[in-house]
Amino acid sequence: MKENKQSAVKRLLGTRGMGAVITAFAGLVIIYIAFGIIDRNVFSGQNVMNLLRSMSKYLLIGVGQSYLLITGNIDLSIGSMVGMSAMISATLMTMGISPLIAILIALACCLCCGVVNGILVGKFKLPPFIATLGTMFVSRGVAYMVNNNRNTDAIATGIGKEAGDRFQNFFYYGKTLGIFNTFWIALVLFLVFFFLLSKTRTGRHIYAIGSNVDAAKLSGVNVVNTTIKAYLVSSVCACVVGLILCAQAGMGNMEAGNMYEMYGVAAGVIGGISPLGGTGLLLGTFAGAAVWQTLENGLNMIGAQVGIQRLVIGIIVVFSVLLDVVVRSGNFGKKSN
Amino acid sequence: MPVKKELLRMDHVSLIQNGDALLDNLNFQMFAGEIMGLVAGHNRGYDQLIQLLCRNLPISFGTVWYDGRTVNSYSHSDGSPNRVCVIEQMSHLVEGLSVVDNLFVLRKGFKKYFINERILREQAEGFFRENSLEVNIRKRVSALTPLERCLTELGKALLIGYKLVIVDNPGNFLSQYELLHFQDMLRTVKKNGVSVLYIGNHHQEVFRIADRTSLFFNRRIIKVFERDEMTDAQISPYITDWNIPGAQTTPDQGEGILHFHNVHTRNLHGLRFVLHRAECLTILDMDNRIAEDVLALLTGTGECLRGQITLEHEPYPPKRAMGYLDAGIAVIPQDCIKSMLFLNRSYMENLTFLLDRKMHQSILPGKVYRSIRNEYRPLVGDFIDESLAANLPPAEQIALAYYRIQLFHPRVLVCIQPLAKGDMYTRLRILALLREILKSGTAVLIITANVSDTLMISDRLLVIENGVCAAAYDKREFDQVDW
């Protein structure tokens, strides 16, 4: 029995990508403790709750972006889709349409963007950077146009205070078992997508495409469909984050989700998802999002300027990618020729 | 008898990397103006040998002389390149530029800032004519045929003044006719004092052209065959283990699984054959052109212009061929490591990649994995626990591709040049694996441009010339034909 347990632990630690995940979690603990020593309020229960809620957005965006990074692609439109989702749902609700229908319409719009991205990249072989750059502008354009180039009024003006509160509580302000609902939503989606990636055929196909697309094709993997599925995951995540931002503000903001595509990439690569495709664990994205949010939260609490915050986070992202490239090339500690 | 001038000598060269001896007390000598053959019995250290010929990388012991001077020794290696040209499957030319640009502009020492294309073209035409190199120099490199590409690389080597040309397995990427032409060119080049190191997987091919042949085995050159020694009888003591394990299977004599009925494509002009269950049919493609067409037809990326393909007597149109794995057809392309394996995934993930398709389940139960692991552990040993397929030795990587197919158990397996890569032992293992696959009832179709060793497991041979069957042989007729 003991031997079985040992071998299970050994197998878990031997899982490829687990090293990066453990490193990211270790980094998280060190950062958290370091900030906690500087300011004791970092350890307070209230701060931990806020931390979990704030990291949920990065976690979801990170999950969506990680799916694409694993396939060897990227989605630059994910941030704009967040804005589009927030604006569409808020605009509909201010028009008195039921939140559920507003959510479904926002989701449908995001899924359409995901399908378009997937087709452009998977079927028409457009470079993902260019294809999603295009849809990034389109989505942001829709976000602007949906309410005639201005932010929406409070959603409660359309659906009433009670329904508006219910919507806001469900996505942002409410708590279940003492933890904000935002975190539960993110956790449930994370677990669903974690299972999809690690335990199902689709997940294996996603890794296969990122690892060796020719081999994947020859092994009967439908590259177009799998690419579309990855972009759909990303659009679902973007939509939910848009709803969270809408609930947080109680209104639609045209600039919601600005730069989130890069936050997603950062959460992924800090957690060991390789931007070259084919490797990485979604658990790492969890750690990456937590590291990101802890840094932001900690730097805020000790009064660091925004510039310093960006600088530190930027260095960490570059360092993470550098580590991935060095480990992949096997050049660590070797003299270059 | 004229005194031979020595071009290259590697004297007691040893190379140890990470405690692993890759070259062990290797002695190798080449004279100016000779064609030296090189046959690898075992690939261990073989890549390093070629690298050392091209570049003076650090060695652990010994000395290397090239063109009259010491270029590398255990005491000093400067990492400088030797004036050596390698012609191999991978092109060393810039695809998007013209032949003339590749010859002149992309050359060390080309100093002109403004390029006069007319003058360069005239110079190139004169040079190619003088050396009897038949290449259309106005073409872009991407539009050249494999033979033209090889001749251009050869021309570039001559223009730069290289004295040693390494030719790595040209039989893998040239057709039989192109190969003969290229070999003639190598003989011409030799007369001009340039040496050629001709590397071949098949000793028969090397013996045809070489003046001497070195046998590389177990990290050193163990024998140099002189002209009069280059016979099957002389080399056989060194390859005595060349027996494929397992008994020869008997093909099913029924109506056959796969039929090609007068199939026409761009390169096929009325191909017809039938493949039976548990039968191994080898197609010798004299023009080295039909493999892509056959693959496209069987995987649904191309369609017949005329004629028909049937699988189990059912028509096999492109729509059905798109799901070729579900139809029971599997493919092992030429470079199976590159085109079949996911090198940053584990051995087990690679091995079981097609299993979900076989079992029609999205989530495979853990007990299935465990059972497969237990079944294959005796065959592959601890490699089965490898978490990164990239860490496997090349022979194990090739075997992994075949094991995946064996596990999938297709009705028809199409192999493109299966023996193009690897040393004698790897090829032997591939043949043994193919025999195992045949034993399970799978029909195997081998398409190759070099027939030598595949005949050991083949039941029939078709020779295809200009897209049609020019000759057909049964197993008992194989030894009656002079290949």
The string of pLDDT tens digits covering residues B334-346 is 889 999 999 988 9
The model carries a pTM of 0.81
| Closest chain B CA to residue A219 | B354
Distance between B79 CA and the closest CA of chain A, angstroms: 8
Write down the pLDDT at residue B21. 87
Contact A204/B323, CB-based, under 8 Å? Answer: no
State phi, psi for B409 to the nearest 5 degrees.
55, 70
CA distances from B387 to A219, B144, B398 (A): 20, 41, 16
| Closest CB to A201 among B324, B326, B362 | B362
User: B178 and B312, same structural domain?
Assistant: no
Q: Above pLDDT 70, what percent of chain A?
A: 92
- Which phi and psi angles does B6 have, rounded to 5°? -80, 130
> Which comes out higher in pLDDT, residue B316 or B427?
B316
Cβ–Cβ of B326/A207 closer than 8 Å?
no
Residues A330 and A106: their CA atoms lie apart, in Å, by: 45
Average confidence (pLDDT) over A25-41: 89
Q: How far apart are CA B405 and CA A131, in angstroms?
A: 36
Domain-embedded: residue B161: yes
pLDDT at residue number B202: 82
How far is C-alpha A49 from the chain's CA centre? 19
pLDDT at B479: 67
pLDDT score of A336 more than 50: no
- Give Cβ neighbours of residue B405 (< 8 Å, ≥ 6 apart): B330, B332, B354, B413, B437
What pLDDT, on a 0 to 100 scale, did the predictor assign at position B198?
A: 95
Contacts of A324 in chain B (CB under 8 A): none
SS3 of chain A: CHHHHHHHHHHHHHCCCHHHHHHHHHHHHHHHHHHHHHCHHHHCHHHHHHHHHHHHHHHHHHHHHHHHHHCCCCCCCHHHHHHHHHHHHHHHHHCCCCHHHHHHHHHHHHHHHHHHHHHHHHHCCCCHHHHHHHHHHHHHHHHHHCCCCCCCCCCHHHHCHHHHHHHHHHHHHCEECCEEHHHHHHHHHHHHHHHHHHHCHHHHHHHHHHHCHHHHHHCCCCHHHHHHHHHHHHHHHHHHHHHHHHHHHCCCCCCCCCCHHHHHHHHHHHCCCCCCCCCCCHHHHHHHHHHHHHHHHHHHHCCCCHHHHHHHHHHHHHHHHHHHHHHHHCCCCCCCC
Number of domains in chain B: 2
Residue of A nearest to B338 (CA): A215
User: What does each C-alpha distance from B230 to A62, B31, B211 come to in angstroms?
Assistant: 64, 18, 9
ipTM: 0.75
State whether B344 and A219 contact (CB < 8 Å).
no
Query: What are the chain B neighbours of A8 within 8 Å (beta carbons)?
Result: none
Set of chain B residues whose Cβ sits within 8 Å of the Cβ of A215: 338-342
**Residue (of B100, B25, B88, B76) closest to B51 by Cα position:** B88
The domain in which residue B464 lies consists of 258-480
The C-alpha of A148 sits at a distance from chain B's nearest C-alpha, in angstroms, of 46
Confidence (pLDDT) at A326: 74
Judge whether B267 lies within some domain. Answer: yes
| CA–CA min distance A104, chain B (Å) | 28
CA-to-CA dists, residue A208 to A119, B104, B335, B368, angstroms: 18, 42, 18, 20
List pLDDT tens digits, range B320-333. Answer: 988 899 999 999 99
Does A278 contact B345 at a Cβ distance shorter than 8 Å? Answer: yes
**Which chain A residue has its CA at the smallest distance from B408's CA?**
A219
Q: What is the pLDDT of residue A7?
A: 65
Q: Which of A13, A219, A274, A335 to mutate to test the interface with B (most CBs of B within 10 A)?
A: A219
On whether both B204 and B294 belong to a single domain, the answer is no
The predicted pLDDT at position A337 comes to 36
Phi, psi dihedrals of residue A248, rounded to the nearest 5° = -60, -45
Q: What is the pLDDT of residues B98-123, one digit of tens each?
A: 888 888 877 777 777 777 788 888 88
Q: Which amino acid is at B25?
A: N
* DSSP class of B103: I
CA triple B9-B11-B16, angle to 5 deg: 120
| Residue B221 sits in the same domain as residue B93 | yes
Domain boundaries, chain A: 19-328
Q: Which of the two residues, A261 and B44, has the higher pLDDT score?
A: A261
Q: Which residues of B touch A276 (CB under 8 A)?
A: none
Q: Give the C-alpha separation, B265 to B248, whole Å.
A: 34
Test the A interface: residue of B292, B344, B351, B361 with most A CBs within 10 Å: B344
Q: Which residues of A touch B353 (CB under 8 A)?
A: 204, 208, 219
CB-closest option in A14, A278, A337 to B344: A278
Q: CB A207 to CB B356 under 8 A?
A: no
Q: Please state the φ and ψ torsions of residue A207, each to the nearest 5 degrees.
A: -65, -40
pLDDT at residue number B26: 92
pLDDT band with cut points at 50, 70 and 90 for residue B15: very high
CB pair distance less than 8 Å for A211 and B353: no
Nearest chain B residue to A202 by CA: give it. Answer: B362
B342:A211 CB<8 A: yes
Q: How far is B187 from chain A (nearest CA, A)?
A: 36
Residues of chain B with a CB closer than 8 angstroms to some CB in chain A: 79, 299, 323-326, 331, 333, 338-346, 349, 353-354, 356-357, 361-363, 387-388
Which of B189, B206, B239 is a domain's end point?
B239
Q: Which of A201, A212, A218 sits opposite B343 (nearest CB)?
A: A212
Q: Tell whether B288 and B218 lie within a shared domain.
A: no
- The model's pLDDT over B268-289, given as tens digits with 9 standing for 90+, comes to 999 999 999 999 999 998 888 8
Per the CB < 8 A criterion, the answer to whether B152 and B141 are in contact is yes
pLDDT value at residue A303 = 84
The answer to whether residues B219 and B87 belong to one domain is yes
Q: Which residues, other chains included, contact B399 with Cβ-Cβ below 8 Å and sequence gap of 6+?
A: B380, B429, B430, B433
SS3 of residue B366 by DSSP: helix
Residue B403 parent element (H or E): helix B394-408
Tally Cβ neighbours within 10 Å of residue A24.
Answer: 25
Q: Which residues of A touch B300 (CB under 8 A)?
A: none
B342 to A337: CB separation less than 8 angstroms, yes or no: no
Domain check: are B281 and B216 in the same one? no
The overall average pLDDT reported for chain B is 88
Asked whether residue B21 falls in the same domain as residue B150, the answer is yes
A207/B339 CB distance under 8 A: no
Last residue of a domain, one of B208, B239, B270: B239
Residue A235: predicted pLDDT: 97
Tokens of A35: 């900030």
Instruction: Quote the tokens at residue B223.
Output: 């024998």
CA geometry: angle A52, A54, A55, nearest 5 deg: 65
With contact defined as beta carbons under 8 Å apart, do A94 and A208 qualify?
no
In a domain, residue B404? The reply is yes
Domain-embedded: residue B394 = yes
Return mean pLDDT, chain A.
Answer: 89
Min distance A332 CA to chain B CA atoms (Å): 14
Query: How close A217 gets to chain B, by Cα (Å)?
Result: 9
- What's CA B164's distance to the chain center, in Å? 22
**Positive or negative torsion for Cα A69, A73, A79, A85:** negative
Residue contact B356–A279, C-beta within 8 A: no
**Gap between the terminal Cα atoms of chain B:** 34
User: B467: how many CB neighbours lie within 10 A of its CB?
Assistant: 20
Highest mean pLDDT among A224-238, B238-252, B298-312, B409-423 belongs to A224-238
The DSSP code for B139 is S
Residue A135, pLDDT > 60, answer yes
Structure confidence at residue A333 (pLDDT)? 47
Q: Answer yes or no: do B339 and B464 share one domain.
A: yes
pLDDT at B481: 60
CATH of the domain at B272: 3.40.50.300
pLDDT single digits (tens) B217-265? 888 899 999 989 998 888 888 765 556 666 667 777 778 899 999 999 9
Note whether A200 contacts B387, CB cutoff 8 Å: no
3-state secondary structure (DSSP) of residue B460: strand
Confidence of residue A323 (pLDDT cuts 50, 70, 90): confident
**One domain for residues B97 and B198:** yes
Does residue B285 lie in a domain region? yes
Same domain for B228 and B322: no
Please tell me which of the candidates B342, B362, B387 has its beta carbon nearest to residue A200. B362
In angstroms, how far is CA B252 from the centroid of its own chain?
31
B406 in the same domain as B301: yes
* Predicted local distance difference test score (pLDDT) of residue B122: 87
Least confident interval from A123-137, B78-92, B358-372: B358-372
The answer on B305 and B209 residing in a single domain is no
For the segment A221-232, the average pLDDT, to the nearest whole number, is: 95
- Chain A CA closest to residue B321: A220
Q: Which residues of A touch B (CB under 8 A)?
A: 14-16, 199-202, 204, 207-208, 211-212, 214-216, 218-220, 278-279, 337
| B363, closest residue in chain A (CA to CA) | A200
Using only C-alpha atoms, what is the Rg of chain B?
24
CA distance, residue A187 to nearest chain B CA (Å):
22
A19-328 has which CATH code? 1.10.3470
A212 → closest Cβ in B342, B354, B363: B342
Question: Which long-range contacts (C-beta less than 8 Å, at least 24 apart) are formed by B267-274?
Answer: B267/B292, B267/B293, B267/B467, B268/B293, B268/B294, B268/B467, B268/B468, B269/B466, B269/B467, B269/B468, B270/B307, B270/B467, B270/B468, B271/B307, B271/B464, B271/B467, B271/B468, B271/B469, B272/B307, B272/B469, B273/B462, B273/B469
Has residue B245 been placed in a domain?
no
Q: Which residues of B touch A279 (CB under 8 A)?
A: 344
Substitution target from A13, A192, A218, A335 for chain B, most B beta carbons within 10 A: A218
- Let me know if residue B249 belongs to a domain: no
DSSP B291-354: HHHHHHHHHTSS--SEEEEEETTEE--HHHHHTTTTTTEEEE-SSHHHHH--TTS-HHHHHTTT
Which of A42-46, A218-222, B282-286, B479-483 shows the lowest per-residue confidence on average (mean pLDDT)? B479-483
- Total beta-carbon pairs less than 8 A apart between chain A and chain B: 60
